[in-house]
Structure 1
Amino acid sequence: MFSGFALMMGAVQAGGGHQHMALPKVEGTRPVVGTSPWGPTDEIGRLNLMTAQSQQEVMAQVDASKVYDLSVDYFIGMPGWHAAGDPRYQIWMTHTPNGTRVDDPLSVGSDQNDHVSYTGTAFSMYSHTGTHIDALNHFGLNGKIWNHFEANKHLGDRGWLKTGAETIPPIVARGVLLDVAAARGVDMLPEGYRVTREDLQAALKAQGTHLQEGDVVLIRTGRMKLYEKAEQYMSNPPGLGMDAARFLVEEGGAMVLGADNLSFEAFPSEVAGNYVPVHTYLLAQQGAFILELLDLEALASDKVYEFAFIGASLKLKGADGSPMRPIAMPLLSKNSKR
């Protein structure tokens, strides 16, 4: 049975001699949301590990000669999470050059409409569409989210009053790619494959990479190779297991976790009574953010395993997630295999 976590800060010894901040395990108890070690008003969880000093340190090592775009394209028919009835991505024209000539919506006359071509579009989608970040209110436990904010007190008709997507600061941090598919000698992990602690350790060893507290850790399953084929991409994808998630946070010190799949975790659930235990563990119990639908193929192809991760999401007030267009810039002293 899944282990709960105490309502206080703890430290777990990890590789490299670093002490990593994590809420300690209490075996045999029912899981509850985490209490922030950064105080009762904290809304950004482990992003508190990002400081002016840590940002300066990683940016001082950047090789700006190549920039990797980690986001995906948005298009009608793209992969998306629709199992719970959420809307698909849609885009439509609100203005076209010919339509503007016919309708003259701004009442400027035919001469100007012939001279000035006006194009406008609108789009709609679920907040967890395409490359995006999950806010800490996306999943909770027993009516509460991270740091004991409560749905019946902090959620109104216009969204959450706490931990909304607008509270997520721009992220500038050391990023680490764990190419699990390559470490297992395959282009893409099999359907339904559950990534384990041992898989992550094997990738670290194969790459000669180590984890540091405050890292953004990105996991490549190879699933992005199917992104243009929505049905195949969505069908029983590989994902992270519980022990792997705990390893990255409690021993690796990860601040943000991401992957190239949509669900992030593997299904079916390993935990009775919780259909998304990895999400609730990371978001509600540890205050760790989740990134999904990352395009990691170029990073993997160039064997860029350590980099500056730079990303900012839309400030959607009260939302439980937001689109993001993150980039990666290699570090000067790393990635000698490129």
Structure 2
Amino acid sequence: MGQQAGVAVGTSEWGADDQLGALNRLSPTVRADVLARADASRVYDLSIDYFVGMPSFQGAGDPSYQIFMSHTPQGTAVDNLNGVGESVNRHVCYSGDVIFMYTHTGTHIDALNHFGIDGRIYNNFDVESNLGSRAWTKGGAEQIPPVITRGVLLDVAGQHEVACLPDSYAITVEDLEKALGATGLSLNEGDVAFVRTGRMSHWPDGSKTLGNPPGVSLDAARWLTAQGISIVGSDQECVEVGPSEHEDNWLPGHCHFLAESGVPMIELLNLEELAADGVTEFCLIAAPIRLRGASGAPMRPIAMALRN
């Protein structure tokens, strides 16, 4: 602590109405290339499943994941709410359910309205004109298009030869450069950069996967966005290191990625299989649920290694 983050709201280079930010860098040419080179013999699911009792942010006052059945085969036969009669309802076993959760539960993407500075989010949309009683009218999860592009894995835990980085380890620019150098790749404009800390090796033990996360320092976050990436992601809950190293901002990385640079963030990725198989360059296919105005949404990212 003691340092000042010095993060400011960014103005989009794509115009005053832009709500995509760095997602404008997604290229149809790159999309076609990665789909053509994708090795579909092995598909990596980078998401986690949702279940009652899963680690989440209830410690910060957010609701835990809940699922309730709204229809069961026996109940439908008794209630006959559909009016078709008991014999038909006993013949046709009907089940239905309802879920209730914080939009940042499990593997999810942060939309650009998730964090702002002094009442404004990315591209200077202010709360007075753009925040309704239920949701933002700008920068919501519904703005995020399907993502099909090149992904690069920066395995920082692997470079340190540990299963998981220590709590609150601040990943440096040098760490990222070494991890990237080990792949023999470069980060290109529009790429998605995934940073592995090893936290998912402990999932679903909430005592080891949430709280005091190892993650990117603010300098490392700025190095990543300087590469022209479209999205950043990590295998822990906030991409950045926690607690904050800056006395004026409790999540300066969020403010830099989202509010200053317009770079959405994917959190709680499962990168263990990718790392174990040495897959550092891949075709990424991912899309969030289109929750209008929401500050985040569940996402199921899929990866396939790229052929040369």
Does TM, normalized by the shorter one, top 0.5?
yes
CA contact (8 A) 1:194 1:240 kept: yes
Secondary structure, aligned partner of 1:173: strand
Shift of 1:249: 1.1
Number of equivalences: 306
Partner of 2:128: 152
Shift of 1:3: 5.8
* 1:313-332, Cα deviation, whole Å (9 max, x unpaired): 11111111111111011111
Shift of 1:36: 0.4
CA contact (8 A) 1:92 1:122 kept: yes
Secondary structure, aligned partner of 1:159: coil
Give unpaired runs (5+ residues) of structure 2.
Answer: none
Q: Distance in 2 between matches of 1:99 and 1:249?
A: 53
Shift of 1:65: 1.7
Q: Distance in 1 between matches of 2:209 and 2:29?
A: 39
Shift of 1:2: 4.0
Secondary structure, aligned partner of 1:122: strand
Partner of 2:83: 107
Secondary structure, aligned partner of 1:60: helix
CA contact (8 A) 2:5 2:248 kept: no
Shift of 1:253: 2.1
Partner of 1:309: 284
Q: Distance in 2 between matches of 1:175 and 1:160?
A: 29
* 1:237-284, Cα deviation, whole Å (9 max, x unpaired): 21111111111111x222110000012211221222110000000100
Equivalent of residue 170 in structure 1, options 142, 146, 149? 146
Q: Distance in 2 between matches of 1:82 and 1:38?
A: 37
Q: What letter corresponds to residue 117 of structure 2 in structure 1?
A: L
Q: Distance in 2 between matches of 1:235 and 1:283?
A: 21
What aligned pairs does 1:1-338 form with structure 2 within 5 A after superposition?
1-2=3-4, 4=6, 31-250=7-226, 252-333=227-308
CA contact (8 A) 1:77 1:230 kept: no
Shift of 1:32: 2.1
With the length of structure 1 as denominator, give the TM-score of the two structures. 0.88
Q: Distance in 1 between matches of 2:293 and 2:213?
A: 29
Q: Distance in 2 between matches of 1:37 and 1:122?
A: 41
Give unpaired runs (5+ residues) of structure 1.
Answer: 5-30, 334-338
CA contact (8 A) 1:81 1:262 kept: no
With the length of structure 2 as denominator, give the TM-score of the two structures. 0.96
Q: What letter corresponds to residue 230 of structure 2 in structure 1?
A: M
Identity rate of aligned residues, in percent? 51
Secondary structure, aligned partner of 2:232: strand
CA contact (8 A) 1:58 1:173 kept: yes
Q: Distance in 2 between matches of 1:55 and 1:187?
A: 32
CA contact (8 A) 1:163 1:318 kept: yes
Q: Distance in 2 between matches of 1:228 and 1:270?
A: 27
Q: Distance in 2 between matches of 1:277 and 1:307?
A: 29
Q: What letter corresponds to residue 304 of structure 1 in structure 2?
A: V
Shift of 1:144: 0.3
CA contact (8 A) 2:110 2:295 kept: yes
CA RMSD of aligned residues (A): 1.3
CA contact (8 A) 2:4 2:248 kept: no
